[in-house]
C-alpha cells in the first residue's frame, strides 16, 4: 500500500479515526508521518502560552469522548482532539461546535465570558454560504430557558459527574434567580 | 512601491518623536480578524487560502486609508527580503518561515501593516512613534471599520471576534508599548517591575514580539486579556501600567545621576567610543552599546545626536538590512565588518 499523502513510498504508519460511527483510515510512509507530527509540534511550540490549556483540554476532551463519541466541528472537520494538540481552532464554526468546552476555556484564559468590545456594523456583509445551524440540542443557552428545566439538568449533570457542565448550570441558575429578584415580573 | 524602496527610508514609527519618546520607543496595536465560514489559515486548503488572498486584496485596493501601499506575496520571495521585513517589524517571523499563500501589505510610511493568512486571516498592525496608544487606536479602528463594511468578519455577539487561538477571542486586540529601561536594569529593579506586571496579567516580550528575548534593555509590554473588557478599557489599563513604569525609570535615572555619576559617565562614553571606533562588531554588542548611546543622548551627556538617528542605526545594522545595503549575501564575519563601518560612518558625520 502506498502512502496516502505522497503516493510514492510504502505506507508504514496506519491511523484509524472513528467519527460518529464512521471509520476513516490514513496510511502514511515514515517520512510523511514524521513531517505531520513535526508540523503539529511546531505549531504548538510556537503557540501562546495557554495557561495550562493542554492538561485542561485533556480533561475536557476525555469527558466529551466518554459522553458523546469524538467531538468534531461540523463545518471544517477539526476534532477537539486536534485542537488540543495544535492549540488552534479550525474555523469560526468551531466556536459553535465546541461551545461548551470553549466557554469554560475562554473563562479560564480571560477571566470573563462575554465580549463587551466593538461589534461588527449592522450593514456588514454576510458570509456567502449560510453556516450550518446548530442542532436543536446545541443551541446556546439564553435567559429565556426555563429555570426549572435548568435545575433538572443540573441534577442530571451532577449524577453523571459532569462537573464542568454542572458548574456552568449552577452559575446560570444563580444569575437567573438574581435577575428575577431585581425584576420580579420577568423579562 | 516595491520592497527595495524601503531601504532608503525610515518607518514613521522610528522618528523618535511623540509623548515620552525618551523612554517609549513606539506604541503598537494589532487586531486579529477572520472571515466567517472559511477555515483558519493553518487548517485551510490551498484554494480556500487563495480565496482569502483574493477577497482581502480587493478590499485593500478600495480602502482609502491604505492608498499607495506595498502589497507582496511571500511565496516566492527570497529569504533575505523576508528577513528584511521582519527586521523592520512589519511582519512576524512565523509569517516569513511558512510563507505559502501568505501576503503582506505595508502603507507608505510603514505605520500600517496587514499580514494575510498568518495565524488568522488578517492581522492588522498600526505602529506610532512614542507613547501614543490613542492615536494608534484611532487609526487601526478606522481601518478595521472600513474592512468590516466589506468583509464578512467571523463574529459572535457573545464572544466577539472569533480567532484561531482562543487567547485572542473577543476584541482580538493586543496593545503593546516598546520601552527602553536601562536605569531599571542597571539598578537591578527590573525583575521586580516585570513580576508586578505579570501579576496584572500583562506580558513582557523582547524586541521582535512573541518568543523573543529582551535585549539591550528593550522591553515590549502588552495585554493578555481580550474578552470581557472594551478596547478602550484594555488600552487605558496598559496606559496606567506604562505610566508607572516610566515614572520608575525616571526615578532610577535620577538616582544613578546623583549616586553613580562616574559609573554612568564611564559606561556611556565607553560605549560611544567603541561605536565610533570599532571595525568588527556583532549585532548583540551593537544593541547593548546603542542602548547606552540612547541613554547618553536622553540624559543630555552626548550632544548632536537625535533619537531618530539612533533608531535608524538599530534597524540598519541588522543582518538582512546589511545584506540589502550591500545587495549581496554576506557571511557573519563580513556582516560584523560592514556593521562597524556603517556605524562609524554615521557617527563621524555628526562630529
Asked if pLDDT for residue A143 goes beyond 70, the answer is no
Q: Give the three-class secondary structure for A71.
A: coil
Same domain assignment for residues B193 and B292: no
Average pLDDT over residues A91-118: 94
pLDDT computed for residue A64 by the predictor: 45
* Distance between CA atoms of residues B95 and B240, nearest Å: 32
Question: Is there a single domain that holds both residue B190 and residue B317?
Answer: no
Domain count, chain B: 2
| Interface contacts A/B by beta carbons within 8 Å | 136
Same-domain status, B240 and B302: no
| Site from B30, B36, B171 to mutate, A interface, most A CB atoms within 10 angstroms | B36
- Contact criterion met (CB < 8 Å) for A114 and B165: no
User: Element (H or E) spanning B71, and its range?
Assistant: strand B70-73
B174 CA: distance to closest CA in chain A (Å): 13
pLDDT for the residue A31: 78
CATH code for position B35: 3.30.590.10
Chain B residues with beta carbon closer than 8 angstroms to that of A125: 149-152
Report whether pLDDT(B333) > 70: yes
B227 and A93: CB-CB below 8 Å? no
β-strand pairing of B103-106 with B70-73: antiparallel
Among the listed residues B278, B338, B337, B271, the one whose alpha carbon sits nearest the alpha carbon of residue B310: B271
Same domain (yes/no): B169, B224 = yes
Mean pLDDT along residues B83-95 = 94
Residues pairing with A19 in the sheet: A22
Q: Nearest CA of chain B to the CA of A116: how many Å?
A: 6
pLDDT value at A63 more than 60: no
Query: Cell numbers 559617565 label which residue?
Result: B265
d(CA B210, CA A47) in angstroms, rounded, equals 9
Please write down the HEC assignment for all residues of B222-279: EECCCCCCCHHHHHHHHHHHHHHHHHHHHHHHHHHHHHCHHHHHHHHHHHHHHHHHCC
The 10 Å Cβ neighbour count of residue A156 is: 13
Q: What is the pLDDT of residue A187?
A: 38
Q: What are phi and psi of A122, to 5 degrees?
A: -65, -20
Interface of B with A in 46-75 (CB under 8 A): none
Within this chain, do residues B18 and B75 fall inside the same structural domain, yes or no?
yes
Number of Cβ within a 10 Å radius of residue B170:
28
Residue-wise pLDDT for A69-89, tens only, equals 789 999 999 999 999 989 999
A163 pLDDT above the threshold of 80: no
Q: Are residues B48 and B97 in the same domain?
A: yes
Residue A132 has pLDDT above 60, yes or no: no
Q: How far apart are CA A41 and CA A162, in angstroms?
A: 30
Which positions in chain B touch A48 (Cβ < 8 Å)? Answer: 165, 167, 210
Cell of A65: 469522548
pLDDT at A60: 52
* Contact yes or no for B50/B75 (Cβ under 8 A): no
Phi, psi angle pair for A6, to nearest 5°: -95, -20
Tell me if B281 sits within 8 A of B336, measured CB to CB.
yes
Based on the domain organization, do B97 and B121 belong to the same domain?
Answer: yes
Query: Does B186 lie in the same domain as B125?
Result: yes
* B104 & B249 share domain: yes
pLDDT at A42: 40
Q: Indicate if the pLDDT at residue A43 is higher than 60.
A: no
Q: Do B181 and B270 have their domain in common? A: no
Residue B301, pLDDT score: 95
Q: In this predicted structure, what is the pLDDT of residue B230? A: 96
* Residues in CB range of A141: below 8 A, 6 or more apart: A172
For chain A, the C-alpha Rg in angstroms (whole number) is 20
Please say which residue of B253, B273, B288 terminates a domain: B253
- Contact yes or no for A50 and B167 at CB 8 A: yes
Residue B99 to chain A, least CA–CA distance (Å): 14
Q: Which of B231, B253, B275 is the last residue of a domain?
A: B253
pLDDT at A37: 60
Structural domain boundaries enclosing B286: 261-348
My answer on whether B246 and B126 are in the same domain is yes
Phi/psi of residue B206, nearest 5 degrees = -85, -165
The proportion of chain B whose per-residue pLDDT surpasses 90, expressed as a percent, equals: 83
Q: With an 8 Å Cβ cutoff, are A76 and B39 in contact?
A: yes
Whether B211 and chain A come into contact, CB under 8 Å, resolves to yes
Give Cα separations from A102 to A156, A160, B172 (angstroms). Answer: 21, 20, 16
- Cell 560584523 locates to B336
Position A44 scores a pLDDT of 38
Lowest mean pLDDT among A137-146, A150-159, B159-168: A137-146
Q: Residue A4: is its pLDDT beyond 60?
A: yes
When CB atoms are compared, the residue of A46, A50, A118 closest to B94 is: A46
Q: Which of B296, B329, B176 is nearest to B245 (CA)?
A: B176
CA distance B58 to B197: 41
Q: In this complex, is the C-beta atom of A186 within 8 Å of any C-beta atom belonging to chain B?
A: no
Confirm or reject contact between A43 and chain B (CB < 8 A). Answer: yes
Q: Does B113 score more than 90 pLDDT?
A: yes
SS3 call for A18:
strand
- Taking the C-alpha atoms of residue A122 and residue A101, their distance in angstroms, rounded to an integer, is 29
Report how far apart the first and last C-alpha atoms of chain A are (Å, whole number).
Answer: 63
A174-183, B109-118, B258-267, B307-316: least confidently modelled range: A174-183
A142 close to A90: Cβ distance less than 8 angstroms: no
- Sorted by sequence, the CB contacts under 8 Å of residue B300 that are 6+ apart come out as none
Task: Write down the pTM of the prediction.
Answer: 0.76
Contact A119 B173 (CB under 8 A): no
pLDDT confidence tier of residue A111, bands split at 50, 70 and 90? very high
Partner-chain contact A116 B119, CB within 8 Å: no
**Are B235 and B263 contacting, i.e. CB atoms less than 8 angstroms apart?**
no
- What does the pLDDT average to over B254-260? 96
* Cell output for B262: 562616574
pLDDT greater than 50 at residue A131 = no
Average pLDDT over residues B121-135: 96
pLDDT tens, B5-41? 888 888 888 888 888 989 999 999 999 999 999 999 9
Of A34-48, A94-108, B81-95, the poorest mean pLDDT is in: A34-48
Cell of A166: 454542572
Grid cell of A62 as nine digits? 476525555
pLDDT at residue A114 tops 70? yes
Domain end marker among B253, B274, B304: B253
Classify the C-alpha dihedral B185-B241-B27-B93 as positive or negative: positive
End-to-end CA distance of chain B: 35
Three-state SS sequence of A28-56: ECHHHHHHHHHHHHHHHHHCCCCCCHHHH
Q: Chain B within 8 Å of A131 (Cβ-Cβ)?
A: yes
User: Is there a single domain that holds both residue B330 and residue B218?
Assistant: no
Phi, psi (5° rounding) for residue B51?
-60, -45
Asked whether residue A128 carries a pLDDT value surpassing 90, the answer given is: no
Question: How distant is the Cα of B232 from the closest Cα of chain A, in angstroms?
Answer: 8
pLDDT at residue A1, as a whole number = 78
Interface of B with A in 122-161 (CB under 8 A): 141, 144-145, 148-161
To the nearest whole number, what is the mean pLDDT of chain B?
A: 93
Amino acid at each position: 500500500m502506498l502512502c496516502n499523502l505522497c503516493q510514492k513510498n510504502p505506507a508504514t504508519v496506519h491511523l484509524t479515526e472513528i467519527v460518529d460511527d464512521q471509520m476513516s483510515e490514513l496510511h502514511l510512509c515514515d517520512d510523511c508521518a514524521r513531517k505531520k507530527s513535526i508540523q503539529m509540534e511546531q505549531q504548538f511550540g510556537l503557540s501562546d502560552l495557554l495557561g495550562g490549556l493542554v492538561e485542561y483540554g485533556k480533561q475536557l476532551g476525555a469527558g466529551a469522548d466518554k459522553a458523546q463519541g469524538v467531538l468534531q466541528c461540523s463545518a471544517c472537520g477539526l476534532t477537539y482532539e486536534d485542537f488540543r494538540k495544535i492549540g488552534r481552532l479550525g474555523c469560526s464554526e468551531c466556536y459553535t461546535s465546541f461551545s461548551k468546552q470553549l466557554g469554560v476555556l475562554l473563562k479560564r484564559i480571560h477571566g470573563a465570558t462575554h465580549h463587551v468590545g466593538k461589534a461588527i456594523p449592522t450593514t456588514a456583509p454576510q458570509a456567502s454560504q449560510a453556516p450550518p445551524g446548530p442542532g436543536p440540542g446545541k443551541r446556546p443557552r439564553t435567559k429565556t430557558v426555563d429555570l426549572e428545566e435548568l435545575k433538572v439538568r443540573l441534577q442530571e449533570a451532577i449524577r453523571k459527574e459532569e462537573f464542568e457542565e454542572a458548574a456552568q448550570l449552577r452559575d446560570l441558575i444563580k444569575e437567573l434567580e438574581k435577575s428575577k429578584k431585581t425584576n420580579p415580573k420577568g423579562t | 512601491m516595491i520592497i527595495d524602496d524601503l531601504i532608503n527610508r525610515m518607518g514613521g514609527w522610528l522618528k523618535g518623536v511623540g509623548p515620552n519618546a525618551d523612554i517609549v520607543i513606539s506604541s503598537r496595536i494589532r487586531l486579529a480578524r477572520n472571515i466567517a465560514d472559511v477555515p483558519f489559515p493553518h487548517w485551510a486548503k490551498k484554494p480556500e487560502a487563495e480565496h482569502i488572498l483574493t477577497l482581502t486584496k480587493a478590499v485593500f485596493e478600495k480602502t482609502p486609508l491604505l492608498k499607495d501601499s506595498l502589497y507582496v506575496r511571500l511565496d516566492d520571495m527570497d529569504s533575505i527580503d523576508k528577513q528584511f521585513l521582519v527586521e523592520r517589524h512589519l511582519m512576524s517571523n512565523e509569517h516569513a518561515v511558512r510563507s505559502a499563500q501568505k501576503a503582506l501589505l505595508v502603507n507608505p510610511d510603514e505605520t500600517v501593516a496587514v499580514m494575510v493568512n498568518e495565524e488568522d486571516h488578517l492581522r492588522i498592525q498600526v505602529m506610532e512613534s512614542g507613547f501614543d496608544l490613542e492615536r494608534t487606536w484611532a487609526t487601526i479602528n478606522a481601518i478595521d471599520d472600513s474592512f468590516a463594511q466589506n468583509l464578512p468578519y467571523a463574529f459572535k455577539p457573545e464572544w466577539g471576534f472569533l480567532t484561531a487561538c482562543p487567547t485572542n477571542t473577543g476584541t482580538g486586540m493586543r496593545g503593546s508599548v516598546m520601552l527602553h529601561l536601562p536605569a531599571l536594569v542597571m539598578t537591578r529593579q527590573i525583575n521586580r517591575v516585570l513580576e508586578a506586571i505579570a501579576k496584572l496579567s500583562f506580558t513582557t516580550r523582547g524586541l521582535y514580539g512573541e518568543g523573543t528575548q529582551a535585549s539591550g534593555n528593550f522591553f515590549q509590554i502588552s495585554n493578555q486579556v481580550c474578552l470581557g473588557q472594551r478596547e478602550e478599557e484594555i488600552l487605558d489599563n496598559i496606559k496606567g501600567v506604562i505610566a508607572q513604569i516610566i515614572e520608575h525609570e525616571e526615578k532610577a535615572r535620577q538616582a544613578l545621576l546623583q549616586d553613580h555619576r562616574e559609573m554612568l559617565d564611564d559606561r556611556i562614553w565607553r560605549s560611544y567610543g567603541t561605536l565610533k571606533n570599532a571595525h568588527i562588531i556583532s549585532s548583540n554588542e551593537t544593541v547593548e552599546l546603542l542602548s547606552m548611546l540612547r541613554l547618553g543622548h536622553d540624559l543630555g551627556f552626548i550632544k548632536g545626536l537625535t533619537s531618530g538617528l539612533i533608531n535608524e542605526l538599530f534597524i540598519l545594522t541588522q543582518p538582512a538590512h546589511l545584506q540589502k545595503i550591500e545587495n549581496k549575501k554576506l557571511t557573519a564575519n563580513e556582516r560584523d565588518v560592514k556593521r562597524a563601518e556603517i556605524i562609524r560612518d554615521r557617527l563621524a558625520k555628526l562630529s
